[in-house]
Amino acid sequence: MADSNVLDAPRTVVVIGGGQAAGWIVRTLRKEGFDGRLVMIADEIHLPYERPPLSKAVLSGDADISTVRLVDHDAFASLVEAWQPECAASIDREARVVRTASGREVHYDRLVIATGGAARRLPDALVKTSHLAYLRTLDDAVALGTRMRESHGKRLLMIGGGWIGLEVAATARKLGVDVTVIEGASRLCARSVPEAVSAFLLRLHRDSGVDVRLNASLVSLDDHAGGVRAHLADGSTLDANFAVAGIGLNPHTALAEHAGLDVNDGIVVDEFGATSDACVFACGDVANHPNAWLKRRVRLESWANAQNQAIATARAVLGVRAPYAEIPWFWSDQFDVNLQILGDIAPGYTHVVRGDLEARRASLFFFDGDALRGVIAINAARDLKVAKKWMSQGRAVDLAALADTAKALA
Ligand SMILES: Cc1cc2nc3c(=O)[nH]c(=O)nc-3n(C[C@H](O)[C@H](O)[C@H](O)COP(=O)(O)OP(=O)(O)OC[C@H]3O[C@@H](n4cnc5c(N)ncnc54)[C@H](O)[C@@H]3O)c2cc1C
């Protein structure tokens, strides 16, 4: 990785992207005293906002746009020259210039790429309907929420049984929409949780009236009777009034690739957010970083990473080198369940359950030998908070204390 520490202090910093990570870059640069020119090029019309409520309160109509904003409009205008909506089209690393789709150019001393990603789309050949939506942006959430609130008693086909799919399903049920979830794998959220938690999520959704079909591989999605008909690989069909696909994210790496930066499941950065070019940084969903806790490279898609990696990166842009070394943390809200995941949940680890999954209140502690490596907390945020302290301090865990649910962990 290039050493960004040997460069002169920047006079112009350009940020590409206008999401949570870009917002935190802007905020942190100014907080740390950067008083040079700061340009943010963002293709959405909205100022930086947080996406977690999009599948929850914004979708259900319980929160409006103002609650998701990361920054106040007037305050933000005083921090940054925002080019919006404007798409960065190319990076000339030799000349240190970013060019936009509308033909504008800006020179940079340091560039931060915080372009996030786009909802992965179903193959065109498979989709023969217009009643299909995706959920990534605020505009997506507002449009889908409006449709869902008009669909009481109608049926939604949710394609994908991952976090977005399950949150959309839960919100739809809350609005009185009937839901079928189809998932190609044999269990829910299989990439991030062990079998016991997949089974818990399956029970939670089925008990809440969601029709969950596992091992259900979509072959085509057609128009049918004013709605959609899904054809599955086993020959069966499913009808619904509309469909949403939540099948993952494609990181926006094309700009970086064309500029000749190292890209491998995201833009490859070091622990300071620096890419293979010392003047160019990346952070958030688009960046692939060496994670100190996981002891491997990873591209994280989480609120905490978007914020904290951006803060560390902004400091590194200014030459303040404090490595980004957070323990990965993610949460999801579905029905009356708040589920949080901290650290490493590797398949080979043993786990201890504290509490009762059936009662929807439990924590699963994951060990590599004696070392606590990760926690999944279900309506048990306090356990997770205490475990984070133990993990950060490398403290030995008292298994008897874990088993004793009558006593709070400390
Ligand atoms: C519906 C939903 C629910 C979520 N729920 C949770 C949750 O409960 N818990 C959790 O931990 N995380 C959750 N997340 C994940 C979290 O919101 C993301 O990790 C975070 O938003 C990533 O921020 P980012 O700034 O890196 O990327 P993004 O938010 O994707 O922002 C990138 C921005 O850059 C723009 N851009 C891209 N290319 C260009 C270009 N060439 N020129 C100009 N602009 C460009 C994009 O349009 C976008 O606006 C959720 C995400 C979604 C979508």
Kindly write down the DSSP assignment for every residue of 327-391, as one continuous string.
Answer: PPEEEEEETTEEEEEEE---TT-EEEEEEETTTTEEEEEEEETTEEEEEEEES-HHHHHHHHHHH
Looking at the structure, tell me whether residues 36 and 94 fall in a common domain.
Answer: yes
Cα torsion angle, 208, 245, 59, 54, sign: positive
Structure confidence at residue 1 as a pLDDT band (50, 70, 90): low
What is the per-residue pLDDT for 7?
Answer: 76
The CA–CA distances, whole Å, from 60 to 137, 176, 386 equal 15, 11, 32
85 occurs within a structural domain:
yes
Looking at the structure, tell me whether residues 136 and 235 fall in a common domain.
Answer: yes
Report CA(3)–ligand 1 centroid distance (Å): 28
As beta bridge partners, residue 244 has 133, 158
* CATH label of the domain that carries residue 138: 3.50.50.60
Domain final position from 245, 260, 284 = 245
324 occurs within a structural domain:
no
- State the closest ligand 1 atom to the C-alpha of 135, by its place in the atom list counted from 1: 1
17 occurs within a structural domain:
yes
- State the closest ligand 1 atom to the C-alpha of 287, by its place in the atom list counted from 1: 26
331 occurs within a structural domain:
no
Structure tokens at 124: 């065109």
CA–CA dist 265, 5 (Å, integer): 26
Q: How many domains is the chain partitioned into structurally?
A: 3
325 occurs within a structural domain:
no
- Whether the upstream peptide bond of residue 290 has omega within 30° of 0, thus cis, is no
**Is the overall model pTM greater than 0.85, yes or no?**
yes
Q: Could you read off the pLDDT of 346-399 as tens digits, one per residue?
A: 999 999 999 999 999 999 999 999 999 999 999 999 999 999 999 999 988 888
If one residue of 303, 311, 313, 333 were mutated to test the ligand 1 pocket, choosing by the most ligand atoms within 8 A of its CB, it would be: 303
Looking at the structure, tell me whether residues 280 and 350 fall in a common domain.
Answer: no
310 occurs within a structural domain:
yes
Report CA(112)–ligand 1 centroid distance (Å): 15
* CATH label of the domain that carries residue 379: 3.30.390.30
- Is residue 406's pLDDT more than 80? yes
Domain final position from 201, 218, 245 = 245
Helix H or strand E segment including 400: helix 399-403
Looking at the structure, tell me whether residues 132 and 151 fall in a common domain.
Answer: yes
Cβ of residue 136 lying under 6 Å from some atom of ligand 1? yes
If one residue of 115, 148, 253, 331 were mutated to test the ligand 1 pocket, choosing by the most ligand atoms within 8 A of its CB, it would be: 115
Looking at the structure, tell me whether residues 128 and 226 fall in a common domain.
Answer: yes
Looking at the structure, tell me whether residues 32 and 95 fall in a common domain.
Answer: yes
Looking at the structure, tell me whether residues 232 and 296 fall in a common domain.
Answer: no
Looking at the structure, tell me whether residues 170 and 281 fall in a common domain.
Answer: no
What is the per-residue pLDDT for 6?
Answer: 62
Overall average pLDDT of the 128-145 stretch:
97
Parent domain of 143: 124-245
What is the per-residue pLDDT for 4?
Answer: 54
Cβ of residue 178 lying under 6 Å from some atom of ligand 1? no
Looking at the structure, tell me whether residues 221 and 256 fall in a common domain.
Answer: no
Looking at the structure, tell me whether residues 275 and 350 fall in a common domain.
Answer: no
